[in-house]
Structure 1
Amino acid sequence: MPNVLVPLAAGAEELEAVTIIDLLRRAQFEVTVAGLEPGPVTCSRGTVIQPDTTVDQVLDQSFDLIVLPGGLPGANHLRDDARVQGLLRAQAERDGHLAAICAGPKALAEAGLLEGRTVTAFTGALDEAGIPSTGAPVEIDGRLITGRGPGAAMDFALTLIEQLAGREARDAVEGPLLRP
């Protein structure tokens, strides 16, 4: 099954982070949650998440997907972290999947990976970078998947599953969730 990196920074949107991690693990993906610093990460609403490892420990690894949760100031920390920027650029160079939700696409914009792409993000999150957002819940542009915000987190995570493992894998995860 696919292996996935979820970099996690202080101030991340916990609803997005937990939904992504949980649903991808339900799909039997190998998910590595890597904090920017050692130790627990306090998210934007005070939820504390214990990462599996640190970004420093995964710099020499390759992943099928790197996915960035949003939230502020978490997305800004991802955008401003040279190690995360290096991982994103390397992922793009090897034509790996990249994904970000809410304000997370800010980090992709900083890496120069959104020019000419169809993307969505939290309202105004990409204004500073001059990147237009469609406002759709989820956008797929080749191996780039973006999501609008917390309300789209489940659809976003299910889309990631479908893009990497197919419709059957998505259905196997989505069915037991009893979504309307």
Structure 2
Amino acid sequence: MAKAYEFLANGFEDIEALAPVDILRRSGVEVKTVSIGDSIEVESAHGVTVKADMLFADADFADADLLLIPGGMPGAKNIDEHEGVRHAVMRQAEAGRLVGAICAGPMVLGHLGLLRGRRATCYPGFEDQLEGAEYTAALCTVDGNIITGKGPGASFEYGYTLVTLLKGERVAEALKKGMMYEG
């Protein structure tokens, strides 16, 4: 079974974090949400409190097929400043395993140098944080093992793209049909 972890920090964007988790879980991917703070409860940018599945201190990402960084501010900034997350993302990317980031989240990848020579998208206004990337402005961009999403409105497209990469096109198409997604 494919396994994914999503980092949650106070100030994360609700739909960019939760829609992909929902879509991935519906497809049979085991997803664990990981609070990077001291509390299992994490507050979104819009004041919604979410109970993460685990604390960062208790996580081991060695079995991760996918690591996810949602957007939202200051959530993405909080993730960007977390050395443990940065280290985990670098290890994941260097191993050739999937790393996804949406909205402001791709700035973490840009700051780590993971976007140099790659195509990527992000929330408009964060393009200068994608160090060395070719900005696509697409809803979702895949370049090798790096998947980036543009923003809240891209959350479904981003989620289905992740399913396609982990479970195949047939699973993603069946899921779209079952969820009445026509995008």
**1:4 alignment counterpart:** 4
CA distance in 2, matches of 1:137, 1:60: 27
Give the counterpart of 1:172 among 156, 160, 174. 174
| Alignment pair present for 1:151 and 2:115 | no
Q: Which residues in structure 2 correspond to 1:123-162 (within 5 Å)?
A: 123-130=124-131, 131-162=133-164
CA distance in 2, matches of 1:60, 1:179: 31
Confirm or deny: 8 A CA contact 1:59 1:87 kept in the other structure. Answer: no
CA distance in 1, matches of 2:155, 2:61: 29
Paired residue type of 2:99:
L
Q: How far off is 1:120 after superposition?
A: 0.3
CA distance in 2, matches of 1:29, 1:60: 15
SS in 2 for 1:28: coil
TM-score by length of 2: 0.94
TM-score by length of 1: 0.95
Q: How far off is 1:132 after superposition?
A: 4.3
Q: Which residues in structure 2 correspond to 1:7-22 (within 5 Å)?
A: 7-22=7-22
Q: How far off is 1:142 after superposition?
A: 1.0
Q: 5+ unaligned residues in a row in structure 2: which ranges?
A: none
Q: How far off is 1:55 after superposition?
A: 1.2
Confirm or deny: 8 A CA contact 2:4 2:31 kept in the other structure. Answer: yes
Q: How far off is 1:128 after superposition?
A: 4.0
Q: How far off is 1:60 after superposition?
A: 5.3
Q: How far off is 1:172 after superposition?
A: 2.2
Residues 101 and 60 of structure 1, relative CA distance in 2, 3 Å threshold: closer
SS in 2 for 1:113: coil
CA distance in 2, matches of 1:60, 1:5: 8
CA distance in 1, matches of 2:145, 2:61: 21
Q: How far off is 1:126 after superposition?
A: 3.3
Confirm or deny: 8 A CA contact 1:126 1:132 kept in the other structure. Answer: no
Q: Tell me the matched-pair count.
A: 180
SS in 1 for 2:52: coil
SS in 2 for 1:161: helix
Paired residue type of 1:71:
G
Q: Which residues in structure 2 correspond to 1:64-79 (within 5 Å)?
A: 64-79=65-80
Residues 159 and 128 of structure 1, relative CA distance in 2, 3 Å threshold: closer
SS in 1 for 2:20: helix
**Considering only aligned residues, what root-mean-square deviation do their CA atoms show, in Å?**
1.3
| Alignment pair present for 1:112 and 2:113 | yes
Q: How far off is 1:129 after superposition?
A: 5.0
SS in 1 for 2:33: strand
